[in-house]
Amino acid sequence: MKKTIWIVNQYASHLEERHLNLAAGFARRGCRTVVITSSFHHGTHTYLYDEPVKIVKRQDGVHFVYLKSAPAYRSNSGKRILNMLDFCRLYLRSQGRIASELGKPDFVIGSSAPPFMWEIARRTAGKYGAKFIAEFRDIWPQSLIDIQGVSPSHPLIKFFAAMEKRAYRRADAIVGTMPYAYLHVCDELGFPREKVWWMSNGIDLEKADRGADSLPGELERYLETHWCCIYIGSIVKSECVQYLVEAWEQVGDPEICFALIGDGNESPAVDAMIRRIGGDRIRHFGSIKKEQIPLALEKARCCVAAHPDYPVYRFGLSMNKLYDYLYSAKPVVFAFSADNVVGEAGGFTVPYGDRKAMAEAIERVKALSPEELENMGRRGKSLIREQYDYRVIADRYLDMLLSL
């Protein structure tokens, strides 16, 4: 019997790699999947569609429903909260039409943040007699406490904590993207272990293998003519790009260069650092297309990333770029202290905050023999194929759903 799965994620309109790939995996197994999201693009602060409700068929068995939530916003202000609430209103008002046109759900996955997704997804599950899955890609409100420094006694924190417990209590299954999320849900909140599942983020290996044939000319020449460590991603505070530049400055080998690829609101500050350093050993290139990333990584010698050791990450980290890095079969140097996929794959992990240790790890990569490089690359690539391919994750996720 063909099953229908709804995924409710307000930000899937632009952060759609996870749920688009999961939906495609469900469709391969004969399911119909409906992803309900906002047409307001959180990254560009623009609307993708003008219609109040826009249904887009992505492929056989996969539809995206875009709701025009308002008001538009440009920062984490009161307007963003109002946009969240308006999305919930539009969703509840539109769920009957969605069910009529695309099928009543057998399973409803509410994916936070924001945690309001759990509440409206649970209402739909109750309305249609479906199973409700509470999925979280970030631990709210603990992330607000550990990262943003909000007081645990703040009324908003208490409100979100109550919503979290209510969602987990009413869920048929609880899904986290972090490998040790069960320690939070079970040990700290008291829910049974058998109710909690780990369904990581991952990578679409079919797209990665197709890749692209060329890069922007200047970038391609730079990577081909220098021994480059490389960073690909957003140039924003959370990605610690300035930290990476500071660590690279402590590299003593003059042959080691650094290519940063991406754009973001921290670009002016990073560009100022590069001008101060001078020379041609560090360059900032603009964003490239998603399909060009595998080729850029192939031409690099080493991949780098960093992430602060906030207490909330004791439950694990699901950082998309690390899967791209490891699948490229290139050595990875990652500044992060808690358990992570780079360490699991045998890459170089160093404590965040120790810039000298990161510089020394990059120098160790350059000193590796061809055999050591091949073995390290093979371990990383195999791990991604076995555990982090979205085909594998989607199959595991669907098997879990069908077992409920």
What is the tens place of the pLDDT at every residue in 43-74? 788 999 999 999 999 999 999 999 999 999 88
Model confidence at 1, pLDDT cuts 50, 70, 90, reads: low
pLDDT of residue 68: 96
Q: Model confidence over 294-334: pLDDT tens digits?
A: 999 999 999 999 999 889 999 998 888 999 999 999 999 99
Strands 348-350 and 332-335: parallel
- Residue 311's nearest CA partner among 117, 142, 108, 64 is 142
Task: Please state, in angstroms and rounded to a whole number, the distance separating the CA atoms of residues 221 and 241.
Answer: 23
The pLDDT value given to residue 104: 97
Q: Is the pLDDT reported for residue 143 higher than 90?
A: no
In this prediction, residue 16 carries a pLDDT of 61
Give 344-389 pLDDT, tens digit per residue.
999 999 999 999 999 999 999 999 999 999 999 999 999 999 999 9
Q: What is the dihedral of CA 92, 94, 100, 102, to 10 degrees?
A: -100
For residue 101, pLDDT over 70 is answered with yes
The 3-state DSSP class for residue 131 equals strand
Q: What is the pLDDT of residue 338?
A: 86
239-294 pLDDT tens trace: 999 999 999 999 999 999 999 999 988 999 999 999 999 999 999 999 999 899 99
CA distances in angstroms from 44 to 15, 40, 289, 290, 365, listed in the order given: 12, 9, 16, 17, 37
Euclidean distance between CA atoms 145 and 135, whole angstroms: 20
262: tokens are 């991406």
Token output for 53: 């409700």
d(CA 114, CA 312): 17
pLDDT at 177 over 90: yes
Q: What is the pLDDT of residues 112-127, one digit of tens each?
A: 988 999 999 999 999 9
pLDDT greater than 80 at residue 76? no
CATH architecture for the domain at 4-202+389-403: 3-Layer(aba) Sandwich (3.40)
Q: What integer pLDDT is reported at residue 42 of this predicted model?
A: 80
Strands of 226-370 (E only): list them. Answer: 227-232, 256-261, 282-285, 302-306, 332-335, 348-350
pTM of the model: 0.93
Q: Where are the domains of the chain?
A: 4-202+389-403, 206-388
51's tokens = 């219609």
Q: Is the pLDDT reported for residue 15 higher than 60?
A: no
**Token pair in block for residue 345:** 């794959």
Between vectors from CA 299 to CA 293 and to CA 305, what angle results, nearest 5°?
A: 60
Model confidence at 232: pLDDT above 90: yes
| 66-84 mean pLDDT | 89
Dist CA 163 CA 171 (whole Å):
12
| Average pLDDT along the chain | 94
> Which stretch of 13-17, 125-129, 230-234, 270-274 has the lowest confidence by average pLDDT?
13-17
- 192 burial via Cβ count (<10 Å: 0-12, 13-18, 19+): exposed
Burial 361-393 (b: 16+ CB within 10 A, else e): bbbebeeeeeeebeebbebbbebbeebbbbbbb
pLDDT at 328: 96
14: pLDDT confidence band, cut at 50, 70 and 90? low
Burial of residue 198, with CB atoms counted within 10 A of its CB: 0-12 exposed, 13-18 middle, 19 or more buried: middle
As assigned by CATH, the class of the 206-388 domain is alpha beta
With a pLDDT cut of 70, the percent of the chain lying above it is: 99
Q: Which of 49, 41, 21, 45 is nearest to 33 (CA)?
A: 21
Tokens 């649970």, located at residue = 122
**Does the bond joining 179 to the residue before it have cis omega, within 30 degrees of 0?**
no
**H helices of 29-154, where?**
78-102, 116-128, 142-146
Residues near 226 by Cβ (< 8 Å), separated by ≥ 6? Answer: 257, 259, 281
Q: What pLDDT shows up at residue 319?
A: 87
Do the domains spanning 4-202+389-403 and 206-388 agree at the CATH topology level?
yes
Amino acid occupying residue 331? P
What are phi and psi for residue 8, nearest 5 degrees?
-105, 110
